[in-house]
Each structure stands twice: as C-alpha cells, then as structure tokens.
C-alpha cells in the first residue's frame, strides 16, 4: 500500500532528520490481542548525523502506538513504537538478531505517550521539551526532575532521542514505550498513574517485546533500556528488578504478556531514585550550598537529614569501586573526588586546546593541573558548582509540594508523604502519626536499591550510568550507590560523570552505542 505522505525536515537532539513515507504493508488484525503484526508498519527514511559528523541515510520500518497489555487502563500511554532499520546508506540490513534499545521518554514521573509520534526519536511524543544533549549547566531549558514537571530530556529534542537515532543508524531495533504518569486522573478524580504505574507499564512493555520473539525483529534476550532523570530511575529499576515477583499482581491486572520482564543491560542518565533516602543524600551533598536567591536553607533541617544519610549509608555496607573500601558519610566526599570528579575534570581539560585549557584554569584556580591530571578539594568543588537547585527537604516536602509527593498519591489524594521525617514535620495540617500502610510496599516497588540489596537474580548484569557534575537536581551519591551495589554483585559497571554538565546531559552517545555492541556481542550483518 502506497502511503504517499511526506514528513518535513526537523532537528532532534542535534541530529538532522528528513523523514519520507514510502511503501508499507497493510495491517492485519490478530486474534491474539498481544500478538505483534509483522506487516503493520510504515516504511520511512531518515538521515542521521553520527558523532563524527557524517550523514547516514536509514530506511526503516515503523510500527506506531501498539497497545502492549490486554487490559489497558489508558491506551494513549500503554502503547509502544517499534523502529527497525532495513537499509543503511543503500545497503540492506538484517536486524533480526540485533540488540533492542528500549528507550523510555519519562520525565518527572509524568505521563509519556507515543500516540502522536511521527517516527523514531520522539517526534510528536508527549512529555515536554528538555535540555538538549550535552547542554551546559545553566541552560534555559527546564530541569527534568520530578519536582519540575516540565522537563524531559528523552522526548522531543532531548538527549535520549540522540541515543535512539544513533542506535537505528548502527542497525539496532529501537522500542519506545509510553507509560502512565503521576498527573493522570479519571472522571472521578482518582489518580491512576501514580506509583507503581510507570514501572509496571514499562515491565509490561518489556514482556510484550519478549512475548513476540520472532515477530518483532531483534534479539529479545538483548534488550538494553535507556532513560533520563525519572526515566533514568525507571531504567535503573527495570534493570534491578527483572522478573521480581512483587509486581505480579499489578501485571496480572493489566493482562501483561506471559513472558519475562528481565532486561540484558541498563542505561541510566541522572536517575532520580532511592526516593525515601534522597532528602538525606541531597543535604549531605549540597547542604552547605545556597539557593540561587543567595539564601541558605534551614540548616537545622539540613543537618538532621545529613545524619539520616549517614545512618542509611552505613546500613548499605557498599564498597567503592577500584578497591576504595566501605563507603560512609565520612569518606564519600573523598571517594567522589578521586573516583569520579578529578577524572572527569581531567578528561575535560585534556579535550581542550592548550590555549582553552589555560583560559579555563585561569578562571578556575581551585584546580591544580599537574602531570596531565586535575586535583582539587571537595569543598572547592562545591563552591565551583554554586547554587543548589532545590530547597529542603528536596523530595518529601513538608508542604507536600514536590512531584515526588504526587508520585506517591493514591485514589483522590493528590500528594502524600513517603518518609516519616516528612510526615513528622508536615505543614499542611495532617494529623496522622504514621505513614499510610501501603507506602513501604510502594517504596520497594520504586527503588532499584531495594532489588540490588535483595541480590535479585533476574537483574541486568551490565550498567551504563551517567551524571553531570553540576547536577544539583539530585545527589551525586545516588548513581554512585547504584554503581557500587551492582559492582559488588559482580556486574559489569561503566559509570562516569560529565564535567561541568547539568541535569540531562549526554555527551558521549556514540560511546553508549558502541558499549551496547560490546556487551551484547553484536556484529552487524
């Protein structure tokens, strides 16, 4: 069937696109609601500019907005897109055994829909605009943390759309799932996208892909997830919680496919996660930094939360990478500086020309540059970053004002406390002395650290984790703890920080695509 429509030219994530509809195949209805229709695609052509600046013309088959559960609550969000390359620069590509990049577009734990997408990379996807790939800290784009509902670096124009397009040009299959989010309400005013809806939906989408092995092109045993911010949290959670039984009742209610929801590898950028401990981690990291207004946060609250972090970190008994030893609140600053921050600064400075390096060092005298290496103190690093993004508490606000408070809403209750400390200091007039009884379960369902602590056998064994050094949407310890926990279980961990980059940065997308090929053992046919 000739489609005949022609899409315009757009720029997505810094990569030029020129989509042109061509001949596709007629969709045919299936007796099985969860059977993927191999012929239900549209053939499109796009031009992808790779990280070397070279253009690649990619012809691909595109399946749009396929509902991935038998009993959807909202099909607008519980659907996915599939993109499969068939020709790259005129040469036929066989993607039947290619890795599958499973790239969610969740930002701020908000709803994410692929229903209006016009092709790969998020064209028409909901979720809002975000910080572009590699954007420096201080960019005008909104921060995509849960506390800022407008941000989303995976959707239109964002960092993860770069990953998706580069993956397609590398010959990989790309799956883009939608998911319910925290702001969705039905006619009765009930919230139906709060925890654990997003992770349950993404698990159901993984199950759909695995269930359709042989119908959906690609190697369903080589699914690699990707996400940023809250999407990075969900990607981490997918990786940590593969086949965990605690989601069974939720997946059954949706009529999810009878298949595994384990993934092979995890890509997570600036994950906003471990939420029940995030306030303490944030204050440990940024507690002495002023807000952008120049005001200092309540230091009594900050110190109490820092103490909570120290207690929590001690219970984890995590060992740092490269033989550092047990990570504690007392030595975590040293660990971050030596393991991540100085190497990050060194890599950045080495990438500069001699004159640019001299200029940067002259403007940042806290760095000692000697023997081709950067050294500095934790205190000077904090001064260099400057203003913190969030007040205190950063996540479980006393006035129930954050996106995370909304994420743990239930029924017609828009926001709830999810920490005892937040509830104890509530300023909204609540009289409850204890957290709602379901909160502990919700926290386990939403926290990758819980599953890593359980040594979940179905977890991902390969981890790609990235964070900007100036990202004060979260604590630098959050991703470092995930990395340490995974490495402590013997998993392959590739974790680094981007120097002078803010929330949502993705400055090495080409390396991520090569990493996928390496860990999956894939060689393009």
For residues 277 and 285, the answer to whether their CB atoms sit within 8 Å is no
CB 153 within 8 A of CB 269: yes
pLDDT in tens, 157-182: 334 488 999 999 999 999 999 999 99
Higher-confidence residue: 313 or 30?
A: 313
Instruction: Tell me: pLDDT of 1 over 70.
Output: no
Average pLDDT in the 463-471 region? 98
Residue 525 pLDDT: 61
Q: In which element (H, E) is residue 63 found? A: strand 55-67
pLDDT band at residue 143 using 50, 70 and 90 as cut-offs: very low
The alpha-helical segments, DSSP class H, found in 69-194 are: 159-169
Domain 64-82+95-274+506-520: which topology? Rossmann fold (3.40.50)
pTM, 2 dp: 0.89
| Residue 120 pLDDT | 86
Residue 227 has pLDDT above 90, yes or no: yes
Q: How many other CB atoms sit within 10 Å of the CB of residue 184?
A: 18
pLDDT value at 25 more than 80: no
Quickly list DSSP for 117-142.
--STT-TT-SS---PPTTPBTT-SSP
CA 210 to chain centre: 21
Residue 73: predicted pLDDT? 98
DSSP assigned state of 340: I
Q: Does residue 423 surpass a pLDDT of 90?
A: yes
What local confidence, expressed as pLDDT, does residue 161 receive?
82
DSSP letter, residue 336: I
pLDDT tens readout for residues 281-300: 999 999 999 999 999 999 99
Rounded CA-CA distance 157/179 in Å is: 19
Which pLDDT belongs to residue 122?
Answer: 56
pLDDT on residue 51: 82
Which residue ranges make up each domain of the chain? 64-82+95-274+506-520, 277-303+388-446, 318-383
More confident residue, 52 or 83: 83
pLDDT digits (tens, 9 = 90+) for 481-507: 999 999 999 999 999 999 999 999 999
The proportion of the chain whose per-residue pLDDT surpasses 70, expressed as a percent, equals: 86
pLDDT exceeds 70 at position 463:
yes
The mean pLDDT of the chain is: 88
Using one digit for the tens of pLDDT, what is the confidence trace for 312-357?
999 999 999 999 999 999 999 999 999 999 999 999 999 999 999 9
pLDDT of residue 10: 29
pLDDT per position as a tens digit, 95-140? 999 999 999 999 999 999 999 998 887 544 555 333 322 332 232 2
Percentage of the chain lying above the pLDDT 90 cut: 84
pLDDT at residue 111, as a whole number: 98
Whole-number Cα distances in Å, 222 to 96, 100, 260, 282, 290:
12, 6, 12, 34, 44
The tens digit of pLDDT for each residue in 38-52 reads 999 999 999 999 888
């Amino acid at each position: 069937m000739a489609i005949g429509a022609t899409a315009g030219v757009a720029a997505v994530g810094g990569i030029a696109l020129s989509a042109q509809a061509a001949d596709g195949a007629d969709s045919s209805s299936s007796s099985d609601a969860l059977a993927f229709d191999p012929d239900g695609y549209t053939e499109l052509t796009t031009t992808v500019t790779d990280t070397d600046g070279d253009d690649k013309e990619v012809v691909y088959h595109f399946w749009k907005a396929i509902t991935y559960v038998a009993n959807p609550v909202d099909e607008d969000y519980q659907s996915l897109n599939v993109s499969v390359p068939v020709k790259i620069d005129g040469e036929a590509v066989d993607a039947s055994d290619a890795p599958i990049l499973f790239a969610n577009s969740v930002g701020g734990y908000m709803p994410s829909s692929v229903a209006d997408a016009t092709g790969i990379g998020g064209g028409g996807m909901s979720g809002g605009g975000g910080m572009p790939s590699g954007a420096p800290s201080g960019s005008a784009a909104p921060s995509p943390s849960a506390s800022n509902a407008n941000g989303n670096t995976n959707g239109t124009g964002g960092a993860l759309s770069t990953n998706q397009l580069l993956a397609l040009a590398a010959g990989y299959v790309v799956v883009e799932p939608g998911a319910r989010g925290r702001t969705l309400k039905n006619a009765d005013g009930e919230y139906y996208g709060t925890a654990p809806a997003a992770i349950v939906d993404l698990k159901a989408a993984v199950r759909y892909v695995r269930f359709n092995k042989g119908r959906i092109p690609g190697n369903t045993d080589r699914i690699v997830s990707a996400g940023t911010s809250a999407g990075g949290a969900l990607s981490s959670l997918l990786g940590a919680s593969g086949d965990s039984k605690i989601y069974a009742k939720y997946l059954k209610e949706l009529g999810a496919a009878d298949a595994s929801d384990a993934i092979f590898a995890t890509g997570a950028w600036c994950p906003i996660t471990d939420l029940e401990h995030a306030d303490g981690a944030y204050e440990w990291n940024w507690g002495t930094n002023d807000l952008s207004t120049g005001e200092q946060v309540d230091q009594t609250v900050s110190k109490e939360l820092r103490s909570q972090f120290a207690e929590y970190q001690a219970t984890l008994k995590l060992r740092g990478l490269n033989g550092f030893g047990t990570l504690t609140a007392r030595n975590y600053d040293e660990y971050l500086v030596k393991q991540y921050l100085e190497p990050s600064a060194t890599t950045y400075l080495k990438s500069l020309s001699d004159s640019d390096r001299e200029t940067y060092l002259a403007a940042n005298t806290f760095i000692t540059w000697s023997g081709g290496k950067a050294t500095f103190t934790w205190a000077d690093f904090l001064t260099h970053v400057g203003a913190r993004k969030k007040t205190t508490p950063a996540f479980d606000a006393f006035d129930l004002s954050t996106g995370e408070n909304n994420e743990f809403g239930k029924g017609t209750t828009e926001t709830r406390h999810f920490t005892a400390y937040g509830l104890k200091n509530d300023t909204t007039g609540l009289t409850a002395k204890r957290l709602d009884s379901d909160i502990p379960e919700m926290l386990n369902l939403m926290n990758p650290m819980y599953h890593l602590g359980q040594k979940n056998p179905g977890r991902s064994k390969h981890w790609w984790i990235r964070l900007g050094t100036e990202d004060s949407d979260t604590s630098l310890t959050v991703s470092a703890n995930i990395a340490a926990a995974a490495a402590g279980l013997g998993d392959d961990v590739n974790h680094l920080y981007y120097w002078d980059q803010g929330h949502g940065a993705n400055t090495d997308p080409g390396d991520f695509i090569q990493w996928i090929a390496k860990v999956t053992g894939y060689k393009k046919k």
